[in-house]
Each structure stands twice: as structure tokens, then as C-alpha cells.
């Protein structure tokens, strides 16, 4: 374990699997205390136990980031247990694939509440603590938001909204020493694994669209970039979106 994030308290939403779990592992190895929220408590609880097994501190709360009351309960529990919040990683969101003409109000609500609303709720709830001593916020955009992706209209809209949110928050909160950045990642997840299993030929074709030729690893490739953005090394970077995607965005 390292010490780049030693003594820092990080809220990482949706850290029970995929990107969130990889980020939590990377943070824990750098000494951060981890707090998370998830609708499937057994997943986030397992992450917390893993971090504790590494000699770290962790807290898991059952809840939905799309519900403001759940988010406030998470932040309150985090502050009660660890004293403050230094870092926020807005990773959690629902995922859905649907043609534009088929999208319902319920589909839009599910994506927007978990992604855009959830990010706003978490940022607002953490702000009183970040305002006191500065801090880091890492949001998650997507290539789908910037370039578009078939069957992802509501997802793309939410992700592009998060990029706008990131830039605005970075400008408003710079005076408090808060840096706000976003990552547009491409890494192995539950969704990508399901894609690989259900349509292996299409998955192979998809990999060919990545200049580096393979899917990123949640901890090694995305988690380590998040460590950088959460550390003092990134103090002079804010309002930016980093594409951590093996070069895929460059060929769009």
C-alpha cells in the first residue's frame, strides 16, 4: 500500500463492482478511507470488508444515489464515522440500451436520477465539508455523450449533462480550493462482460476500434487515474475531462 491519499476520506458511489470497485481498491492501496453507497448492499459490504482486510478503513451504506435522502444519509454516516469528506467520486449510475423512439419517461427518469441527479445530490451534500478545507471531485462522463452512440440517447444526454455540471462546479467552487474533473472511461464492467458473452464476434469487432487493442482494467487503468486526480499532483487541473479509453475517442 502507498500513502498518496493517506488520511483522506473518499466517498466512491457504487463501489460494489466494476469501475467503482476498481477505484476503491486503488484508493485503499494509497491509504484512503473509503465510504460507499449501493442499492445492492451485499456488494458494497463485500468491498468494505475487502478494504478492511487490506488494513484500511471502510464504510458501506445501502441506498440509491438518485434519492437525495439516501445521499444525505451516506454523507452523514461518513462524517460521523470518519470526521469529514475530502474526495468524492461520482461513479454510480444505472445503464440502459434502448432506441430513441422506444425510450419512455421511466427510462429517462432511471438514467437521469442515477447519473445526473445523483452526481448533483452527492456534490451538494459533500460541499459543506469540502468548502472548509478544499478537496477533489471526480465525475464520470462518456464518449457516448460527446460523440453519440446508437441506442444510448438518454444515457448520452445524462453523461453530457455531467460534463456541463463538472465545468460549472469547477468554476463556482475554485474559490474554495475544490478541483472538479471528469473521466470518460473504457474498462471492463458487468455490461461489457455481458456483451462479450452474448455476442463474442461483435465484442471482438468492438475491441478492434480501440487503438491499444484491449479493454481497460478498472483498477489499473481507471483507478490509478482517479488516484492522480484525487491527489495533490492534480492541484493545478480543474474543469477538465480526461479520456481514459485506450485512444478510442481519437478515432471518432
Instruction: Yes or no: say if 181 and 137 are a contact pair by the CB < 8 Å rule.
Output: yes
The closest of 223, 224, 225, 206 to 215, measured between CA atoms, is 206
Instruction: Yes or no: say if 70 and 37 are a contact pair by the CB < 8 Å rule.
Output: yes
Q: Within 10 A of 161 (CB to CB), how many other CB atoms are there?
A: 18
- Farthest CA pair distance, the chain: 52
Cell of 3: 500513502
Edge-first strand order for the sheet with 33-38 is: 58-62, 33-38, 9-12, 87-89, 135-140, 178-185, 241-244
The closest of 207, 242, 238 to 222, measured between CA atoms, is 242
The catalytic position among 95, 121, 155, 203 is 155
Instruction: Yes or no: say if 100 and 24 are a contact pair by the CB < 8 Å rule.
Output: no
Examine the residue annotation and report whether 155 is marked as an active-site residue of this protein: yes
Catalytic center residues: 155
Amino acid at each position: 500500500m502507498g500513502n498518496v491519499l493517506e488520511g483522506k476520506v473518499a466517498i466512491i458511489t457504487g463501489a460494489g463492482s466494476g469501475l467503482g470497485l476498481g477505484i476503491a481498491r486503488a484508493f485503499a492501496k494509497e491509504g484512503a478511507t473509503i465510504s460507499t453507497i449501493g442499492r445492492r448492499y451485499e456488494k458494497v459490504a463485500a468491498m468494505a470488508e475487502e478494504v478492511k482486510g487490506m488494513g484500511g478503513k471502510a464504510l458501506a451504506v445501502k441506498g440509491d444515489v438518485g434519492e437525495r435522502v439516501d445521499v444525505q444519509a451516506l454523507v452523514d454516516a461518513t462524517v460521523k464515522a470518519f470526521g469529514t469528506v475530502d474526495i468524492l467520486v461520482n461513479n454510480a449510475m444505472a445503464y440502459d440500451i434502448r432506441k430513441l423512439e422506444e425510450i419512455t419517461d421511466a427510462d429517462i427518469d432511471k438514467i437521469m436520477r442515477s447519473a445526473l441527479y445523483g452526481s448533483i445530490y452527492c456534490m451538494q451534500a459533500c460541499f459543506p465539508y469540502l468548502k472548509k478545507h478544499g478537496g477533489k471531485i471526480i465525475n464520470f462522463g462518456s464518449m457516448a455523450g460527446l460523440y453519440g452512440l446508437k441506442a444510448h440517447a438518454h444515457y448520452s444526454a445524462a453523461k453530457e449533462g455531467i460534463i456541463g455540471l463538472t465545468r460549472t462546479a469547477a468554476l463556482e467552487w475554485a474559490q474554495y480550493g475544490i478541483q472538479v474533473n471528469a473521466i470518460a472511461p473504457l474498462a471492463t464492467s458487468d455490461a461489457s462482460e455481458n456483451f462479450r458473452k452474448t455476442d463474442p464476434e461483435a465484442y471482438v469487432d468492438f475491441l478492434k476500434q480501440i487503438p491499444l487493442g484491449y479493454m481497460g482494467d478498472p483498477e489499473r487503468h481507471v483507478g490509478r487515474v482517479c488516484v492522480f486526480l484525487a491527489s495533490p499532483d492534480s492541484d493545478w487541473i480543474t474543469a477538465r475531462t480526461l479520456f481514459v479509453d485506450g485512444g478510442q475517442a481519437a478515432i471518432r
